[in-house]
Each structure stands twice: as C-alpha cells, then as structure tokens.
A and B are shown apart, each in its own frame.
Chain A
C-alpha cells in the first residue's frame, strides 16, 4: 500500500503560535482524521500541504512528489474543501463549474452535474442565495469533480445537518474504495471521524499528541472513572490527562488492558475520540 500523503517534521512559526515537528502518514485507500482544539494547528497543517502558508521546516510529499517542487502536478491530484466558502457569491454553480473545468486538468463535468443533482443544488441560482450547508455541499461537489486522488477537507462537515453529514460521509467512504485514493479531513465533529476515519492524528498545542490507527487507539486508550482517593493511588505515568470534579474523577488511561491488570478493582471504560481530546486538554490545563 503506497502512501498518499507524508508529512514529516513539519514546522511553522507564527511567533505567538508554533506548529512543531508534525509528522504523520496517510496510506492509500484510507481516511485520516485530523482532530484538535481550536488553534491546535489543524488548518495550519492543511494550509502548509496546499502551500497556502510557507513552512519553516519539514517535508511534505503527495504520492511521492514534493508539494513545492512539483506543486502543479501535486495540486492536479488534490481536491480541496476549505473551512469557508471561497466562491464568488454572484456566480451560479454552472458558471463555477465552467471556471473550475479550466483550472483542473482532470475535471469531470458530468460528475459535477451528477453531484449538483445529488446534493439538490440548483445550477442556475447564484451562490449568494445558498445556505452555509449548500455552499459546503457545492465545495464538496467541486472537489469530487476535480477527479482527485487525495481529498483535503478542512472542517468540511461543519454546518451540515446530521442527515447530509451522513450522506457525505458515505461519499467519502465510496471514494476511498479505490486504494489509490485517500482523504485527510480535519473536524471538530469527532463522531463523524469515529464513523469514517481509519487513522487519527490528534494535534494539541501545535504538536502531535497522538497518531495511529483509530481502532487501535480506541482499543488501547481507556477512561478511568473513580473517586479522588482512588486517583491519588494510581501511578500517574499510566495516565495521559485527568479531570477532577466535585463528584468524581475521570482520567485518560494510556493502556487500559495493562492498567486493569495492575488495578483490577478500578473501572476503565472504553473511550471516544472526544474523551481523548477533552482529557488530554484537561491534563495539560491542570
């Protein structure tokens, strides 16, 4: 299985914020979910891949091509959905299609029209009459019609209702049936990623806090729910973060099976991606 995207030791310094030594790989035929709190560096990472920002260090390769040295060839292989609509409000989807067909070498107009119908987007109405959800669907239709091998989606499912989100996640899953295709998606909606992603990279304060196969992460990590007295007895090196409340404590356990062997009397629940995010964040805060 070839890698669709390799990000290695990526660094970007803004002064007040620094994306530091970010490395992860997206194998072909998979979806990588990029999660993290606001300002963790998700959009910065995606912008560096797209060369919207100039990185200070590291390398990025797409299907084995350097994203800067072979920029045009790399971008011909990528479909992009940015966090907010960047299309002229006065254009109609059909006019937008005509514009983009001259920018993307593999543009498939029939595919684009099919998606407009599928997403119930009127081809002749101006984009300014569209809701946020409709604009996002239009961006997704355009990204698919570019016939990319790698989709980069920055908060692409935000602003969509659960029914449409589910429908779009199905499209993403169809897309990666071809093992030469892959998706990198950043999202706050961790439930979507739990449903669709194969791999997860969690960015925390500009660094990779966790990266790996989603199923493995959910299987390995656990959530300890206990009282304050029990928490004090636990070896802190087994935990990644904890939240101490008035009525009890929650902690993220790095390896729940090993933990339970050592503390069989304590309760460790399975985790969700949201638990991993929240408890890691809380661990830092404390």
Chain B
C-alpha cells in the first residue's frame, strides 16, 4: 500500500508543484491584503478534491489498476491506497495551510486570531473529507472521466444549496433553531458524520472493487 502512495506522489509531482505555485501566489495576495486569509482554507478543499481525482485519472490512462490487481496488493490494496492517499493529501494541505496562516497571524498580517484560522481550516478539511467520501466510490467505479459529471452535480448541489441558504438568511427568513444539546455537541456530531461517512464510503468502494472486472 505504501508503494501505491509513493507511486501517486511521484506520478503527481508535476501537478503538486503547480499547486504549490497557487499557494505562493494566493499567499502573496493575502499578505498584500488583496484576498482574505480564508482563501487558504478554500485551497485545502481544492487540493483535497483535485489531487485524488487526478491520481485516479492517471491510473485509468495507464491501466495501472489492472496491473496492481494482479500483484499481492490486489483489489483491496488499490482501494485502501487511494483512500489513504486522499487522507494524506487533506492532512498535509491542512497542516501546511494552518502553519502558513498561523505564522502570518502571529506576524501581524491579519487580525483574525490563530485559533479561529485553525477552526476555519479544520472545517474546510472536514468538508473536503465528506466530499471525497461521496466522490471516491464513483471515481473508482466509473473512472475519472465518467465520474466528472457526478462531481459537477455534487458541487452544484452543495454550493447551490449554500447560496440558497444565504439568500434565505439575507431575506430575513428565520432558520429553524437547533436544540441546545445539539448546538453544544454540533462539532462532535459533524466530526462523527465526516468520519462515519468516510468509513462508509471506504466500505462501499471496497464492495465496488470486489465486483469490478478488468
């Protein structure tokens, strides 16, 4: 499995360097005060979604999965490798993004306290994990090309839903208030939802790969 992750990192080296340029450019904009620091959180989502998708696209193009199934790693190894790689991408993006934002906050480039920046990034990382949990089974079943449509629909539903919610709030319509117990435990509940969703997604993807033919 570590071999598969190593392969993903090496095969995507060029793309990773391009994404690093994004970080530098957007970081520069943040320091210059052109963009808000929350853009770094958005980059975590961009990285966490595009990198695993690109890795599946490259595997498809090379028919790599067919080869790996014939090795001792087998079908379950491919799925485990891809999920672990996705987790790793999100974790590294979160850590790097947070370190960058907190450093700039401590240096006085933003008034936002470091803790709030961390919470912003953590929310972005959790949302990315949930989105990946939805997308990865489709990616592994249909391949990157065919799963692209499903990804678009998912994004439209989520972001469209978000915009709709904001419009409702802007119009002064009251949103149903959460019970006290739920309000207090919401972060824990969301955390469980994300972790449970990712675990469920992994189980579904294993089932998909078990039935797949090459």
- A111 at interface (Cβ–Cβ under 8 A)? no
Sample of 27 A–B contacts (CB below 8 Å): A47-B214, A50-B69, A51-B69, A72-B74, A75-B70, A78-B70, A80-B71, A82-B63, A82-B67, A82-B70, A85-B62, A86-B62, A86-B64, A86-B66, A87-B67, A88-B11, A90-B13, A95-B10, A98-B6, A99-B3, A99-B4, A99-B7, A99-B10, A102-B3, A103-B4, A104-B72, A152-B70
Complex formed: what's the CA distance from A47 to B67 in Å?
A: 11
- B89 at interface (Cβ–Cβ under 8 A)? no
Number of chain B residues close to chain A: CB under 8 A: 30
Contact residues on A (Cβ < 8 Å of other chain), bracket: 20 to 34
**Beta-carbon contact of B3 and A101 below 8 Å:** yes
| Interface of A toward B, CB cutoff 8 Å | 47, 50-54, 71-72, 75-76, 78, 80, 82, 84-91, 95, 98-105, 146, 152
Q: Which residues does chain B contribute within 8 Å of A90, judged by CB atoms?
A: 10-11, 13-14, 58
Q: Which residues does chain B contribute within 8 Å of A72, judged by CB atoms?
A: 72, 74
**Beta-carbon contact of A80 and B68 below 8 Å:** no
Complex formed: what's the CA distance from A105 to B58 in Å?
A: 25
**Beta-carbon contact of A102 and B74 below 8 Å:** no
Instruction: With CB as the reference atom, state the residue of chain B lying closest to A74.
Output: B72
Q: Which residues does chain A contribute within 8 Å of B11, judged by CB atoms?
A: 88, 90-91
Q: Which residues does chain A contribute within 8 Å of B211, judged by CB atoms?
A: 54
Complex formed: what's the CA distance from A146 to B68 in Å?
A: 13
**Beta-carbon contact of A82 and B66 below 8 Å:** yes
**Beta-carbon contact of A105 and B10 below 8 Å:** no
- B73 at interface (Cβ–Cβ under 8 A)? yes
Most A-side CB within 10 Å, residue of B3, B6, B14, B72: B72
- B213 at interface (Cβ–Cβ under 8 A)? yes
Q: How far is the CB of B212 from chain A (nearest CB, A)?
A: 9
- B164 at interface (Cβ–Cβ under 8 A)? no
Sample of 7 more A-B contacts, CB < 8 Å, known A99-B10, A100-B71: A51-B69, A72-B72, A84-B63, A88-B59, A99-B4, A101-B3, A103-B73
Which 8 pairs, one residue from A and one from B, show the smallest C-beta to C-beta distance?
A102-B3, A86-B67, A52-B214, A99-B7, A50-B70, A75-B72, A86-B63, A99-B3
| Interface of B toward A, CB cutoff 8 Å | 1-4, 6-7, 10-11, 13-14, 58-59, 61-64, 66-75, 77, 211, 213-214
Q: How far is the CB of A271 from chain B (nearest CB, A)?
A: 34
Q: Which residues does chain A contribute within 8 Å of B10, judged by CB atoms?
A: 90-91, 95, 99
Complex formed: what's the CA distance from A54 to B214 in Å?
A: 9
Q: How far is the CB of A73 from chain B (nearest CB, A)?
A: 8
Q: How far is the CB of B68 from chain A (nearest CB, A)?
A: 7
Complex formed: what's the CA distance from A85 to B73 in Å?
A: 18
Q: How far is the CB of B7 from chain A (nearest CB, A)?
A: 4
**Beta-carbon contact of B71 and A75 below 8 Å:** yes
Q: How far is the CB of A80 from chain B (nearest CB, A)?
A: 5
Q: How far is the CB of A114 from chain B (nearest CB, A)?
A: 21
**Beta-carbon contact of B72 and A98 below 8 Å:** no
Q: Which residues does chain A contribute within 8 Å of B73, judged by CB atoms?
A: 103
**Beta-carbon contact of B74 and A71 below 8 Å:** yes
Q: How far is the CB of B176 from chain A (nearest CB, A)?
A: 49
Complex formed: what's the CA distance from A146 to B71 in Å?
A: 10
Q: Which residues does chain A contribute within 8 Å of B71, judged by CB atoms?
A: 75, 80, 100, 103-104, 146
**Beta-carbon contact of A87 and B62 below 8 Å:** yes
Q: Which residues does chain B contribute within 8 Å of A47, judged by CB atoms?
A: 214
Complex formed: what's the CA distance from A98 to B2 in Å?
A: 10
Complex formed: what's the CA distance from A220 to B50 in Å?
A: 62
Complex formed: what's the CA distance from A195 to B94 in Å?
A: 59
Instruction: With CB as the reference atom, state the residue of chain B lying closest to A90.
Output: B11
**Beta-carbon contact of B69 and A52 below 8 Å:** yes
